[in-house]
């Protein structure tokens, strides 16, 4: 599965690398929950997914939605991870997936470069599960590697995380550390499949933890 480098992880890393790495502490622990009211057969359109994204009113004060990036993206080369080479260089950065039905939004917080992004996809449960599993397994299978994006070398470190509780039908989570020069940034990426819907929340670990449950509640709510 091909992924695009302009959105999600690499897109936010361009600004995150300008500030110190974020803390992994969250000031509000999500509540435990199991089972989401989404039918496996209910494949949603992109328009329906767009209506289920979080907005500023859901997130609270201090958040500002970013404009969607252009479709142009840098060439990406992976060094030191054959599994990611097989998937394509863009996969190494945890970029946007290529399922046909999608919606996404990114927000800055507190007027700084700290960001959180949300992506929603809808397809058959098997396609969502197989596609994301391949990418996450490849990324976390290489603890360290290097990405050259637009001529800029970025040292990468990946760490597979165990989701703290059962959410939806399947869960994936990882930490990515981006290092360039003396600067290093930690980005958390958590994905949850609930039936025919896939939610991916990425960004500052604290913001991902803070808004994951809220994003899942809105994404899986019945119309």
33 belongs to a structural domain: no
Helix (H) or strand (E) holding 3: none
206 belongs to a structural domain: yes
CATH number of the domain residue 114 falls in = 3.40.1000.70
30 belongs to a structural domain: no
The mean pLDDT values, 10 residues at a time, for the chain of 223 residues are: 37 36 35 44 90 96 85 71 70 61 93 89 92 83 86 90 84 92 90 94 94 95 67
Neighbours of 135 (CB within 10 A): 23
29 belongs to a structural domain: no
35 belongs to a structural domain: no
Domain total for the chain? 1
Domain of 171? 8-19+41-220
- Residue 22 has what DSSP assignment? P
């Amino acid at each position: 599965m091909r992924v695009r480098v302009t959105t999600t992880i690499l897109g936010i890393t361009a600004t995150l690398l300008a500030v110190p790495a974020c803390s992994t502490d969250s000031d509000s622990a999500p509540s435990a929950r199991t089972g989401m009211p989404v039918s496996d057969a209910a494949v949603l359109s992109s328009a329906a997914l767009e209506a289920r994204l979080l907005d500023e009113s859901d997130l609270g004060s201090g958040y500002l939605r970013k404009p969607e990036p252009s479709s142009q993206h840098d060439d990406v080369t992976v060094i030191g991870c054959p599994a990611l080479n097989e998937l394509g260089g863009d996969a190494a950065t945890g970029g946007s997936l290529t399922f046909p039905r999608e919606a996404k939004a990114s927000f800055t917080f507190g007027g700084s470069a700290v960001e959180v992004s949300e992506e929603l996809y809808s397809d058959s449960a098997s396609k969502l599960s197989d596609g994301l599993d391949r990418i996450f397994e490849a990324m976390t299978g290489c603890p360290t590697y290097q990405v050259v994006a637009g001529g800029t070398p970025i040292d990468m470190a990946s760490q597979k995380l165990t989701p703290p509780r059962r959410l939806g039908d399947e869960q994936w989570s990882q930490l990515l550390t981006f290092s360039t020069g003396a600067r290093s940034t930690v980005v958390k990426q958590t994905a949850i499949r609930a039936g025919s819907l896939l939610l991916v929340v990425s960004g500052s670990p604290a913001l991902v933890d803070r808004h994951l449950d809220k994003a899942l509640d809105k994404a899986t709510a019945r119309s």
